[in-house]
């Protein structure tokens, strides 16, 4: 190790003497100009004969190093970063507020994201399971059809108008909830997952129960997939609505001063 270190330090010393020292008093006005001057001196140094050995550095490179060189990679080196993530229940992982799909069998699993300026790779236990073009659209999703469960793939052709049309067949309350979900997002597409979740709830519990659950959600102004799902799971849609009763009358007492009292006092102070 000491021998190799000494050779490396000797090489640095040669460069300092034949390149840095030669350029120390020159002024350059661009990186390109400086690189050109360095290249000329490097060529001259490599062609300079050895003092104690036959040949030159250029000749040794041509005879020893060049035959062992491999071709350059087909693609330029791309700087990448890594991030740990957990696959969400919708078989997507999040990176900079954008969502990328992975095979649905990995739901709940820990994965690694290797991402560059142009690509996002998802690795599970060292094996790449998904690759996507990098997207910087916040709140949107990049989804590969093959990553979806078979039960989800039949909904790929659904559009906002088709979703609302289906919801209207289930009932006015279901349509109102779906429409509210769409309008609550910056882009309607961001509400697709929640609305498709309503469709699956209708398949599971029946459209009649879904309509009742949506009506209850509307009454409490909680128009979301999670709320409707919770109502159905707990069978609240089958329970009668609780009548809150008449609003309580205001409490009157001689020691309680209302807003009128303070308004009169303020007017008296201004009059004074």
**pLDDT recorded at residue 5:** 74
Return the pLDDT at 153: 57
CA–CA separation, 91 vs 86, rounded Å? 9
Provide the token pair at 38. Answer: 């360095």
3-class state of residue 248 by DSSP:
coil
Residue 39: count other Cβ atoms within 10 Å of its Cβ.
Answer: 10
pLDDT at 249: 59
Cβ neighbours of residue 170 closer than 8 Å, sequence gap 6 or more: 202, 207, 210, 211, 214
> CA dihedral in degrees (132, 136, 139, 143; nearest 10)?
-10
Number of helices (H), then strands (E), belonging to the chain: the values are 11, 7
Quick one: pLDDT at residue 255? 56
Task: Give every CB contact of residue 167 below 8 A, 6+ residues apart in sequence.
Answer: 174, 175, 177, 178, 179, 195, 198
Sequence-separated (6 or more) residues with CB below 8 Å from residue 147: 91, 101, 102, 103, 104, 130
Task: Say what the pLDDT of residue 261 is.
Answer: 53
Interhelix angle 192-205/207-219, nearest 10 degrees? 130
The two three-digit tokens of residue 173, written as one number? 């309350």
**pLDDT reported for residue 93:** 93
pLDDT at 138: 86
* pLDDT reported for residue 251: 55
pLDDT per residue as tens, the chain (272 positions): 565 677 778 888 888 888 999 999 899 999 999 999 999 999 999 999 988 888 898 998 999 999 999 998 888 888 999 999 999 877 889 999 899 999 989 988 999 999 999 999 999 999 999 999 999 998 788 988 888 777 655 555 566 777 778 888 889 999 899 888 888 876 555 677 788 888 889 889 998 999 999 999 998 888 888 999 999 999 888 887 655 455 555 555 555 555 555 555 555 544 44
Of 53, 21, 59, nearest to 38 (Cα)?
21
**DSSP 8-state code for residue 82:** E
* pLDDT value of position 199: 83
């Amino acid at each position: 190790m000491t021998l190799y270190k000494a050779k490396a330090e000797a090489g640095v010393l040669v460069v300092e003497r034949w390149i840095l020292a030669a350029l120390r008093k020159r002024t350059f006005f661009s990186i390109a100009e400086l690189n050109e001057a360095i290249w000329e001196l490097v060529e001259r140094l490599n062609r300079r004969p050895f003092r104690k050995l036959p040949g030159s550095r250029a000749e040794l490179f041509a005879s020893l190093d060049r035959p062992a060189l491999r071709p350059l990679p087909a693609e330029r080196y791309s700087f990448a970063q890594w991030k740990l993530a957990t696959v969400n229940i919708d078989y997507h992982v999040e990176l900079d507020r954008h969502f990328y799909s992975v095979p649905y069998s990995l739901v709940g699993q820990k994965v690694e994201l290797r991402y560059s300026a142009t690509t996002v790779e998802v690795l599970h236990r060292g094996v790449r399971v998904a690759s996507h073009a990098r997207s910087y659209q916040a709140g949107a999703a990049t989804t590969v059809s093959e990553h979806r469960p078979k039960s989800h793939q039949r909904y790929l052709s659904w559009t906002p108008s088709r979703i609302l049309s289906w919801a209207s067949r289930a009932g006015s309350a279901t349509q109102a909830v779906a429409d509210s979900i769409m309008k609550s997002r910056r882009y309607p597409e961001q509400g697709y997952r929640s609305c498709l979740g309503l469709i699956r709830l209708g398949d599971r519990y029946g459209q009649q129960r879904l309509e009742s659950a949506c009506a209850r959600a509307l009454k409490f102004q909680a128009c979301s997939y999670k709320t409707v799902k919770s109502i159905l799971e707990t069978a609240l849609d089958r329970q009668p609505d609780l009548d809150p009763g008449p609003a309580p009358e205001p409490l009157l007492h001689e020691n309680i001063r209302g807003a009128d009292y303070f308004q009169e006092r303020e007017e008296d102070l201004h009059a004074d």
